[in-house]
Structure 1
């Protein structure tokens, strides 16, 4: 195996990690802020891809499909949080049962509306080309995925660290009861974070649709990987989600390339190791 093999696999792992960041960051914030075990998070990823396909079929615009799918699924998440999850409080068992029920409902709805075929989201021709860097052929679409993740990550970091709303979110993550005591409306914060998380997962579904395809069952394939990102990085940490997504993306890609028969082991072994050393994740608070 030459250096080119390692560089290509590293690039592929980083681009996959960029996609996982979009899914995992939203789930991490939902975990960190609301303490909700949302097993329907993978459904937002799947529905984002399907809504994007519908927009593309209707308008022939891939660019329009991105904001429409993101906003549509953010609204779905907002309604789910306001109407159903808000009533459960912090009862973890009920959260799990309700969200897994929604996951099955969303999957069945997707099957009934869009059918069971494996569909692809075709990006503009400009993004289907490759560029040559140091003798390596790098697909522009994978570069686009990395750029989108970096931009989204920077915007979220600036919003979290430099704005009043971000300060309220961080206060809610640290101690929701204390935050309420100093006048933070944690209900509005929870609503914002849940819809943001759902929208980011849907954005991942749109972007990942050209990379993974869109098909029933994709939601349950993405869900454990997203949880691995959150567990490794730590709840409520954007930096942790970024590092966790990068580690999972690289572990998954190198595992499949080098040890295909042990792919699941190479994917989840780092998670087990990190949990054994630091149960709260790399950037989680004690």
Structure 2
């Protein structure tokens, strides 16, 4: 069996420092906001897995449908010998690609969680013992170096996660991705598509309350890591469709006037009754818009696949 290599590109205290900076900036600005990455501690990751199995949450199933149907086409179009995955997590969906990429030499997962990378890497090697797995502990929104690996390379960014970035952040991100790749390398991008408001809101506001608990988990993270005294019961989960910007917003709305203390930051945060903190933006896309954003970053979109209901898309683009 090939060895599993894990390289840490983040300083040991990087996650703690980023949380402190994001909470300080986000909760002292108007309107208040927090980045969605802070949902995903161990409990948040479990909750998200539950969300993906809910009847109204279609993106995970739709993307998996495309991967199952098109993995062979992706392999034939790219001939990739190196597969890079940003925000790889459990690497569950990527298994369909790894199985189809018959000439694959190296899998290079990138995630902030070293434990998730180690568990996923061991599981993959048990099924693909000759595969080289070189995991990177890194934040995909920041620049990081890639080790030398054989080309051509295919970089996968799945799950519609690019929709969590604001337009200017997406542009900067796609330019950074381009710089990681050589001419002729490819980008496989998952994007959730614009559809009717009822379907979109239902996906982010389930009647069983799992998404609400997931949203409020950011408060539990701040309480645990920064000694804060937020009471999640003081906030209501809100999911709204912004038709002008074509994105879903998740928010936490204060049920009453309150003050939360965050001792690690020497900070007290006041909320008026009804005041909200935005915790996630999830942009939805149209093919023309995706094509234009990729072109602006130096990519040429060559393939566009959707699930049968045209709810979600995978696009394959080549670095110009």
Q: Structure 1 or 2: larger strand share?
A: 2
Q: Do both proteins adopt the same fold according to a TM-score greater than 0.5, normalized to the shorter chain? A: no
Task: Give the number of the structure whose alpha-carbon radius of gyration is greater.
Answer: 2
Shorter-chain TM band: under 0.3
